[in-house]
Amino acid sequence: MTIDLFLASLASWRFVRASEIRMSSPLQAVCAKHFAGKGKPERIGRPHTGKFNETWFFSLADRELVFRMAPPTDAGFLFYEKNMMAQEPAIHAAVRSRTRIPVPEILVYDAACDAVPRPFLVMERLPGEPLTARPDVDENDVFRRVGEHLGELHRSVIGERYGYVGAHKPMEPAATWAAAFAVMWNKMLDDIVACDGYDLKQADSMRRLLERDRAVFDRRVPACLLHMDIWHQNILVDSRGQVTGIVDWDRALYGDPEIEFAVLDYCGVSIPSFWEGYGSQRDDSADARLRGVYYYLYELQKYIVIRALRSKNRRDALRYANAALRIANTIA
Does residue 223 lie within any of the structural domains?
yes
Mean pLDDT of 16-32: 78
Report d(CA 182, CA 177) in Å as an integer.
8
Q: Same structural domain for residues 94 and 194?
A: no
Last residue of a domain, one of 96, 124, 152: 124
Average pLDDT over residues 115-124: 96
**Cβ-contact 163, 106 below 8 angstroms:** no
Report percent pLDDT > 70 for the chain: 93
Same domain? 167 vs 296? yes
Could you give the percent of the chain with pLDDT greater than 90? Answer: 89
Is the same domain home to 144 and 106?
no
Identify the helix (H) or strand (E) that includes residue 20. Answer: helix 3-34
Check pLDDT > 80 for residue 60: yes
42-45 β-sheet, strand order = 42-45, 54-60, 63-69, 120-124, 106-110
Q: Do 142 and 108 share a structural domain?
A: no
Looking at residue 247, its pLDDT comes to 97
Which of 109, 124, 139 represents a domain boundary (last residue)? 124
Let me know if residue 2 belongs to a domain: no
- Looking at residue 201, its pLDDT comes to 98
pLDDT confidence bin for 31, thresholds 50/70/90: very high
pLDDT of residue 50: 65
- My answer on whether 171 and 197 are in the same domain is yes
Give the model's confidence band at 49: pLDDT under 50 very low, under 70 low, under 90 confident, else very high: confident
Domain presence at residue 7:
no
Residue 156: CB atoms within 10 A of its CB come to 16
Q: How confident is the model at residue 6 (pLDDT cuts 50, 70, 90)?
A: very low
pLDDT value at position 15? 39
Residue numbers of the domain that contains 45: 13-124
Query: 133 and 248: one domain?
Result: yes
Q: Is the pLDDT of residue 4 over 50?
A: no
Q: Give this prediction's pTM.
A: 0.92
Answer yes or no: do 180 and 120 share one domain: no
Asked whether residue 8 is assigned to any structural domain, the reply reads no
Phi, psi dihedrals of residue 120, rounded to the nearest 5°:
-150, 165
| Residue 5 scores a pLDDT above 80 | no
pLDDT band at 24 (very low <50, low <70, confident <90, very high): confident
Query: What's the average model confidence in pLDDT over 39-66?
Result: 90
Q: How many other β-carbons are positioned within 10 Å of the β-carbon of residue 239?
A: 10
Helix (H) or strand (E) run with residue 89 in it: helix 88-98
Greater confidence, 10 or 99? 99
Half-sphere exposure of 265 (CA within 13 A, CB side): 15
Q: Name the residue with higher pLDDT: 159 or 12.
A: 159
- Mean pLDDT of the 101-126 span: 97
Average pLDDT of the segment spanning 284-307: 98
Q: Are residues 46 and 150 in the same domain?
A: no
Both 173 and 187 in a single domain?
yes
Could you tell me which residues come within 8 angstroms of residue 283 by beta carbon, excluding any fewer than 6 positions away? 258
Compute the mean pLDDT over every residue in the chain, rounded to the nearest whole number. 93
What local confidence, expressed as pLDDT, does residue 16 receive?
Answer: 44
Range 277-296 average pLDDT: 97
pLDDT tens track for 175-189: 999 999 999 999 999
- Residue-wise pLDDT for 230-244, tens only, equals 999 999 999 999 999
Chain segment 251-266, per-residue pLDDT in tens = 999 999 999 999 999 9
The predicted model gives 245-251 an average pLDDT of 97
Question: What is the structure's pLDDT at 52?
Answer: 86
